[in-house]
Amino acid sequence: MEPTTFVLFGATGDLAKRKIYPALYNLFVDGKLPQSFSLVGLGRREWTDESFRANVEQSLRQFSRREANDAELVKRFVDAFRYCVLDIGRKEDYQKLLRLIEQREEALGAPPNRMFYLSVGPEFFEPIAANIQDSGLGSAQGWKRLVIEKPFGHDLPSARDLNLKLSKAFDEQEIFRIDHYLGKPMVQKLGSLQQANPVIQALWTNRYIANVQITANETVGVEERAGYYDHIGAVRDMFQNHLLQLLMMAAIHLPHDSTSEKVRFKKKKIMEALEPVQKQEVGASVIRGQYEAGTVQGKPVVGYTSEPGIAPDSMNDTFIAARLLIEDSYWRGVPFYIRTGKRLAEKSTRIVVEFKEPIKAASETSEEGATPNLLIFEIGPNEGITLQLNTKDLEHEGEFKPVHIDIDLLGGQDNVPEAYENLIFDALRGDSTFFAHWDEVELSWQWVQPLLDAFEENLIPLHSYAAGSYGPAESDALLAQDGYHWWFDVKPEQQIQNREGEPYAYNANH
C-alpha cells in the first residue's frame, strides 16, 4: 500500500475516539496499514503530541477490537501520530499544517499522498475543502483523497449545493462518502454472494421473489443527540442513506467482472428505476411514527417529546416504514418494504427475502403448516444467513413445519473487522466500491424529497407507537394491504430461547 499521510479534522471528537483510532489500530495489528503511515490530528483544543497520543491510547483501551495491552506495540502505533492546533476558519492555520505535513513527509521520505478525513460537523465540509485547495495542501505531486462523514446535505438542494462546492477542490473519484452500513461485513458480502452462487442468482428475480423486507430497528432513543436528531428524524438519519444503500445492495445484479465503477453504476441504475412518489401520494406508501412512553427490554422509558432537549410539541419522526417499487425487468411487481425506528423492541438489522409459494400456486391441495421459503440476511448485531424451508413433521400427521438452515459465513470467527476498519482500509487503498457515489446520493435525496415535503406540510399522519413495540400498527397494515406481514416481529410472550438462553428471533409460527 502506498505511503500515506492521514490528516484528521476532528481528532479530539467523539467519532475519532470511538471509531477511527480503534479502526486504525486494528488495521495496524493486522498488518493492513501502509508501511509508511503518518497521522496528523487537528482540533482547536490546545493538545500537544503527547496529550494527543495519551488520548488515542485511552480510546484504544476502551474501544479497540484488538487488545491494546502490549505497551511496545501501542507505542509503535502512536509514534506515527502528531497533533496540530487548527481552527477550521483560520487560513493561517492551514499554512502551519502544510509545513508540518511537509516536514513529516520529508522525514519519512514519503511522497505527498494525503488523505483528508473530515470527522467534523457538516457545516465545516465546504470551508475545509476550500482551505485545502487555497493553502496548497491539495496540490502536491502525490494523490489526495477526501473522506467525508454523513450527513451529506439536509435535503436535495443542500446536497447538490454541497457537492458543487466540494467538486471545486476534489474530483468525484477523490471523494469517499462514508456510509458505515456499507462497511458492515454482511452488507459487503451481499453482492458477491449473489454474483458467485448460481443458486441465489437464478432466484434473484420477480419470478421467484414475492417481497423483500429491510429492517433496521433500534432500542436506543435519541440519547445525547436531541439537538441533532430533532431536526433530522428517522427519514434523514437512517432512511435516506443507510436503508436506501441496503436496498441497492439487496437488489443489485453484478456481472462476474465487476469493478468498483460497475458496482456503483448498477446501484445508480436501481435508484433510477425506483418508482417516484408524489408529495400528495406519500400517505399511500409511507408511514411515519413517533414513540410514546413504554418498556424497552424490561426497562421503562419516556416518550420522545419528554426526552431532554426535545420540544414537547415536536412532530419529528422517530420511525418510518415505506413500500418501494423498482421498475425494472428483475424487480417489477416485487415490493421492497423498508422500516427503521428508535425505541423498538429489539436491535436488529436484517434483510428478509420472501419467496413466492409455488406449492400453493401449482395445486389446490391443502398444505397445512407450509410457510414461504425465506432467505434471511442478519446484518447486526449478529451476522448470519438463514434459509427457511418446509419439511413434513411426521409426528404431527405430516403437517409441514419450517426448518431453518444456518449458514456460517464467518467460519467460526468471532473477531471480525467492523465497518470503520473495512472502510478506512478501502479508502487507504483507493477502493471506492463501498462508498456512496454522488449519483447514488443525489438520487436518494431525489426519491426522499417528496417525503420531506409531505412531512413538513403535515400531509400524512404522525402515528404514535409504544416504546418497546415494533412501531405503529399502520406499519403492519402497509404490508397487510398486499397480503404480507413483517417477518420475525416477536411479542415477548412468544419468544423462544436459543441454546444460550437468549431470545431467539425466528419464530415462524407467530
Ligand X SMILES: NC(=O)C1=CN([C@@H]2O[C@H](COP(=O)(O)OP(=O)(O)OC[C@H]3O[C@@H](n4cnc5c(N)ncnc54)[C@H](OP(=O)(O)O)[C@@H]3O)[C@@H](O)[C@H]2O)C=CC1
Ligand Y SMILES: O=C1O[C@H](COP(=O)(O)O)[C@@H](O)[C@H](O)[C@H]1O
Annotated binding site for substrate: 180, 184, 218, 237, 342, 347
Residues 105-134 that bind ligand X (CB under 6 A): 119-122
Q: Which does 237 bind (CB under 5 to 8 A by kind): ligand Y, ligand X, none?
A: ligand Y
Does position 380 interact with ligand Y (CB under 6 A)? The reply is: yes
Name every residue whose Cβ is closer than 8 Å to that of residue 85 and which is 6 or more positions away in sequence.
42, 43, 44, 45, 46, 47, 93
* Partner interacting with residue 294 (select from ligand X, ligand Y, none; CB below 5-8 Å by kind): none
Q: What is the CA radius of gyration of the chain?
A: 24
Return the residue of 3, 13, 34, 503 that touches ligand X, per CB under 6 A. Answer: 13
In the complex, minimum distance from the CB of residue 242 to ligand Y, in angstroms, rounded to a whole number: 6
Nearer to ligand X among residue 14 and residue 327 (C-beta) = 14
Question: Minimum distance between the CB of residue 238 and ligand Y, rounded to whole angstroms?
Answer: 6
Distance in angstroms (rounded) separating the CA atoms of residues 169 and 502: 51
- Residues 78-97 within binding reach of ligand X (CB under 6 A): 86-89
> Rounded to a whole number, what is the distance in angstroms from the first to the last CA of the chain?
51
Does position 22 interact with ligand X (CB under 6 A)? The reply is: no
Q: In whole angstroms, what separates CA 325 from the centre of its chain?
A: 21
93, 105, 149, 218: which one contacts ligand Y (CB under 6 A)? 218
State the number of CA atoms in the 13 A half-sphere of 220 facing the CB: 8
| Residue 372 touching ligand X (CB under 6 A) | no
Q: How many C-alpha atoms does 338 have within 13 Å on its Cβ side?
A: 24
Element (H or E) spanning 300, and its range? strand 299-301
Which of 43, 112, 221, 289 binds ligand X (CB under 6 A)? It is 43
| 226 alpha-carbon distance from chain centroid | 20
267: left (phi over 0), alpha (psi -120 to 50) or beta: alpha
How many C-beta atoms lie closer than 10 Å to residue 399's C-beta?
15
Annotation marks residue 396 as catalytic: no
Between 229 and 470, name the residue whose CB sits nearer to ligand X: 229
Residue of the chain from 38, 349, 373, 449 that contacts ligand Y (CB under 6 A) = 349
119 binds, among ligand X, ligand Y, none (CB under 5 to 8 A by kind): ligand X
Query: Nearest approach, Cβ of 34 to ligand Y (angstroms)?
Result: 27
Residue for grid cell 423483500: 212
Q: Does 421 bind ligand Y (CB under 6 A)?
A: no
Q: What does DSSP assign to residue 20?
A: I
Binding residues for NADP(+): 10-17, 44, 87-88, 150
Q: How far apart are CA 133 and CA 135, in angstroms?
A: 6
Helix then strand then coil, in percent of the chain rounded to 5, is 40, 20, 40
Binding residues: 10-17, 44, 87-88, 150, 180, 184, 218, 237, 342, 347
Give me the residues that bind ligand Y (CB under 6 A), please.
218, 237-238, 349, 380
Positions marked active-site: 242
Give me the residues that bind ligand X (CB under 6 A), please.
10-15, 18, 43-45, 86-89, 119-122, 149-150
